[in-house]
Structure 1
Amino acid sequence: MFSNLAIDVALGLIFIYLLYSLLASVVQELIARIFNSRARLLTKGLRRMLEEDDHSKDLGWFGKFTFFNWFYELGWSVVYFFEPFRKNPFLRKFYSTPSIRNLGENSATSRPAYISPQIFSQTMLHLLRGSVKEHAGTDAQAVKTALTLNTLHLVPDTQEHLLQLFEDAHHNIPAFRINMESWFNETMTRASGWYRKQTQTWLLFIGITIAALFNVDSIAIARILMKDKNVRTEMVQLATSRTPAYSAITDTLIRKNILHPDSAFFRADTSLRVFVGDTSLIGVYAMLRNDAGDAANVLGISRACITDTSSGHPVLRCGYTHPFQQNSWLIFGGWCITALAISLGAPFWFDLLGKVVKFRTTPPPDNSSGTRQ
């Protein structure tokens, strides 16, 4: 069995990062539910497919620079948050169809968080076919007429792309639907990447907030673990005892909540909805808060208010009690390190914790040269 200072310090730090990464993930998931983030990202993906969503040309010469584009797009994101169908009449019509509208959970979250590729192609076909009120002949002729005359008032790029997909299918409706489903899958794969990027940004901001509120100072924690053997031992025991529970949370709450192998975006029946409802999510949060308190007690890092009478008059002073937390700049630096670590996500730290624990419990190799003759 390997057990030395470096391994135990690393194990303690990794456990702290895993604990607060899980806590941040729970907070981020609660925020995502409150603001219906998945449905909004799905709408953004459909907007990119079906409507013109490139605002860089509005900036003129400044649109050549990423810096200006980023802030301009951020402003449009705020606009779309309150008006998701602004200047998007076709997208509003798409969401108004019964096949899409009925997927919403309720009136508060009327837009679904997941649409299957088959439902997308079916809805598009219904819209194209139904836009030609007076048509004779087959569905293929109706779709061809709708796309050629642009009866749905699609933006030129979308109209041209759908025409090309229809021609690639040789005017065969089942093949045309398959082409639209492939197009949808490609866009939604990128939408899942947008969501991962958004989640990581949220975790960074939530991480710095948690680090400040809970005083998770990575620099001070590392120094404590290096100096105090009893603290190291207790942290190792705490990490070992909590690993099974964190395994279930990490697998169910985070890993299975990203993508399902047979989905284009987020499935409506993900394990998160089944296993971790709103009430259970709060229960997980309470459990992690309790573990965070236990870890803080082991480390001995806390804030306190004392009455200072050195000046002759009682003055209430609030600050940090641990001797390793006397430099405010180091404390802030420790918080920033914690925030960056949290932004890496709980799966990263859980996998790393498992590797360190396995290495620590591996018996040392037998270097004996054997019995002498």
Structure 2
Amino acid sequence: MFGSNVLDIAIGLIFTFLTVSLIASTVTEALSSAMSWRANTLFEGVKKLLNDQNFTGLAVDIYNHGLVNSLSSGTATAGTSPPIKPSYIDPKLFASALTDVVNLNPAQTLTELKASISTVQDQQLKDVLNGIVDRTNGNFSQVRDEIASWFDQSMERVSGSYKRKTQLWSLIIAFVVAVALNIDTVKIAATLWDQPMLLKGISPQPGATAQQALAQLEQLKLPFG
């Protein structure tokens, strides 16, 4: 009996916490969308990748390229954040855009590819592209694949930064929700101990929205709010 009650309380608390978590994640996602966190984080990542923090060089051309930023008019100006920024860039499309911007094409020989790369202003980026051309012996298809792989690996670190930011905000929002709803773990546990039949109303629905989960929690008459 004792073990059964403890298990019931654990189930009730888990459902309560999952509801708060769902509310927090929904609010975080809405905030992320409204504030364009994903697009802005990607924008900063691309600028760092191209060593163009001031947005005055290759990053401008990349963000004006139709393959990368198809929804924009392609008229972003140097030093000014683009009015429209994509929230995701396909690595292969980035590679194609970069080869276009640097004027690399399949018809070029190894020497001609390096001549085009020599026009790149940033020395580190120039070394990266020359290294890719050397490793692939000037095979354009392989050059593009390596650029895509380089971009993809770099964006994994950017993705990690974005996840840490959203996790922090989810934690903050979850705390605010818990305080706003006056969710007291001790009181809820005590109520479930005294009234185990309340758990009969718990039936989590897969894919339930935050509003649906909160409504179900309210129906249980638990001490919160």
TM-score when normalising by structure 1: 0.52
Change (3 A) 1:103 1:166: farther
1:209 to 176, 180, 185: 176
CA distance in 1, matches of 2:43, 2:55: 14
CA distance in 2, matches of 1:141, 1:45: 31
- The equivalent residue for 1:101 is 69
Correspondences of 1:3-152 after superposition (within 5 Å):
4-51=4-51, 86-103=54-71, 110-129=84-103, 138=108, 140-148=110-118, 151-152=119-120
Q: Give CA deviations for 1:69-89 in whole Å, capped at 9, x if unaligned.
A: xxxxxxxxxxxxxxxxx3553
- The equivalent residue for 1:325 is none
Deviation at 1:126, TM superposition (A): 0.2
Q: Give CA deviations for 1:2-24 in whole Å, capped at 9, x if unaligned.
A: 97111011101100011111111
Please provide the CA RMSD for this pair. 2.8
Q: Could you tell me which amino acid in structure 2 is paired with residue 222 of structure 1?
A: A
The 10-residue stretch of structure 1 (95-104 or 175-184) with the greater mean CA deviation from structure 2: 95-104
| 1:101 match: secondary structure | coil
Deviation at 1:52, TM superposition (A): 5.8
Q: Give CA deviations for 1:150-204 in whole Å, capped at 9, x if unaligned.
A: x2423x2222112211211112211111111111121122222222212211111
Change (3 A) 1:140 1:112: farther
| 1:110 match: secondary structure | coil
Q: If you compute each CA radius of gyration, which structure gives the higher value, 1 or 2?
A: 1
The 10-residue stretch of structure 1 (30-39 or 215-224) with the greater mean CA deviation from structure 2: 215-224
Q: Could you tell me which amino acid in structure 1 is paired with residue 102 of structure 2?
A: L
Deviation at 1:117, TM superposition (A): 1.5
Residues 1:179 and 2:146 aligned together: yes
| % identical equivalent positions | 25
| 2:167 match: secondary structure | helix
CA distance in 2, matches of 1:110, 1:139: 36
CA distance in 1, matches of 2:214, 2:188: 18
| 2:224 match: secondary structure | coil
CA distance in 2, matches of 1:218, 1:47: 46
Correspondences of 1:271-290 after superposition (within 5 Å):
284-290=209-215
- Point out where structure 1 has 5 or more consecutive residues left out of the alignment: 54-85, 131-136, 250-283, 303-373
Change (3 A) 1:202 1:139: farther
- The equivalent residue for 1:223 is 190
TM-score when normalising by structure 2: 0.83
Indicate if the aligned counterparts of 1:125 and 1:143 stay in contact, CA closer than 8 A.
no
- Point out where structure 2 has 5 or more consecutive residues left out of the alignment: 73-81
2:207 to 243, 248, 251: 248
